[in-house]
Amino acid sequence: MRSIGEMARDGGLSVSALRFYDRAGVLVPAWVDPVSGYRWYEPEQLEEVRLLARLRRAGMPLADIRLVLAGWAGADTDLVRGLLQAHLRRLELGLSDARSEFSTLRALLDHRETDPMSSLHTATATARLSVPTPELAAALDTVRFAASTDAELPMLGGILFDVEGEELHLVATDRYRMAVARTRTAGNGGPRTQVVVPLPLADAMRALLTGEKPAQLEVDSDRVSLETGHRQTSGQTLGHEFPDYRRLVQLPSGRRAHVDTAAFRQALETGPVRVSETREQNGEPYDLSVLRVAENGTMILCDDGDDDQNNVAVNREFLLHALTAGARDELILELGAPTAPLAIRRPDDEGAFSLLMPVRLEN
């Protein structure tokens, strides 16, 4: 017999994915310890695990995967070939449709780039301002976790510094989550200025923010510098425009739940999880926490069998990161529709918050 850990390691799936496929009746272990609940597999099941991993990477729906495994076990090659061919046709048709739409979008982008009146961009001017050191440090800590490390999207590989009036907003997003923070400033009398600070430079800036005296920040179109006392760091900004975050944070109001951060974190870490069947993180399906706000305003961490229409599923690891970045003993979680982002807010400062995109639950 092989343990679930061994099967995961040799088969190319995570332990949480194997648990999910057991609960879904797709790949059931040969024996489950009645006391500990630990799963054990026959050596012959390794072939099925590897097959399942390949089907997952190919994006096959769960219902079809179940049939393929059944046909594989019964040596029904006609069924298996038919299902594989049908899925391949769906992928080819989808790719053809996507190519057509992308061709149209590229033409529209070319038009926008050649027509100066087709879009408006925020003017970038030099700004010199004084920022409270503890506030800037806290703002960087609030948003850093949400920044992207995807080389395919360099415009998201930094933190937006948005200076307007006497406020500085910091924003980071990797598409699946977004974090926004703000701090007071003094000395800026110019127009609104925006630059994207690359993550290495943002981290170097954060390392200097250890004292109490105000930090001096200078921002222009292609360079940013920070001075604290006798220490300074500076560097080039990213030559990309950042998405209009103000549009992205306009959410319909939802139900709010005040949570004790430490207690809620413990509930997430030890409570029920599901596995995402629509997205992967580092090549693996990831754990989801399914949430709902009750009528009395309490947050419910839903069990596997709870399929209430108001449930919202989010990446559990991302939610844990957001709770840490919230940096408060109590936080407010706001849930709207199942398709709307989950908002994590501070009771004393709603200008600093995180958004997590929901993940569709498989039926």
CA distance 12 to 5: 11
Q: Which residue from 21, 23, 90, 18 is spatially nearest to 58, judged by alpha carbons?
A: 90
- Per the rule left: phi > 0, alpha: psi between -120 and 50, beta: everything else, 165 is left
The answer to whether 196 and 155 are in contact (CB under 8 A) is yes
Every domain of the chain and the residues it spans: 2-85, 127-246, 251-356
Walk along the chain (363 residues) in steps of 10 and give the mean pLDDT of each run: 92 87 87 91 93 90 88 84 92 90 86 60 70 95 94 89 91 94 87 91 95 91 89 91 85 89 95 75 77 92 84 93 95 89 91 91 63
The fold of 2-85 is Multidrug-efflux Transporter Regulator; Chain: A; Domain 2 (1.10.1660)
Q: Specify the CATH number of the domain 251-356.
A: 3.10.150.10
**Which residues contact residue 180 at a Cβ distance below 8 angstroms, ignoring those fewer than 6 apart?**
143, 169, 170, 171, 245, 249, 351, 352, 353, 354
Q: Is 313 helix (H, G, I), strand (E, B) or coil?
A: strand
Task: Give the pLDDT score at 278.
Answer: 62
Query: Which CATH number describes the domain made up of 127-246?
Result: 3.10.150.10
- List pLDDT tens digits, range 78-107: 888 999 999 999 999 999 988 888 888 888
* 301-314 pLDDT tens trace: 998 778 888 899 99
Please, which residues have CB within 8 angstroms of residue 95's CB and are 6 or more apart in sequence?
Answer: none
Judge if 2-85 and 127-246 fold alike in CATH terms.
no
pTM listed for this prediction: 0.77
Q: What is the pLDDT of residue 70?
A: 86
Q: Looking up tokens 């996507």, which residue turns up?
A: 98
* CA distance linking residue 169 with residue 343, whole number of Å: 17
Res 362: pLDDT: 63
- Could you say which DSSP state residue 61 is in? -
Handedness of CA 255, 261, 262, 268 (dihedral sign): positive
Query: What number of CA atoms fall less than 13 Å from residue 109's CA on the CB side?
Result: 6
Residues 266, 106: Cα–Cα separation, whole Å: 47
pLDDT of 270 reads 92
Q: Cα–Cα distances in Å, from 138 out to 120, 197, 234?
A: 32, 16, 20
310 close to 297: Cβ distance less than 8 angstroms: no
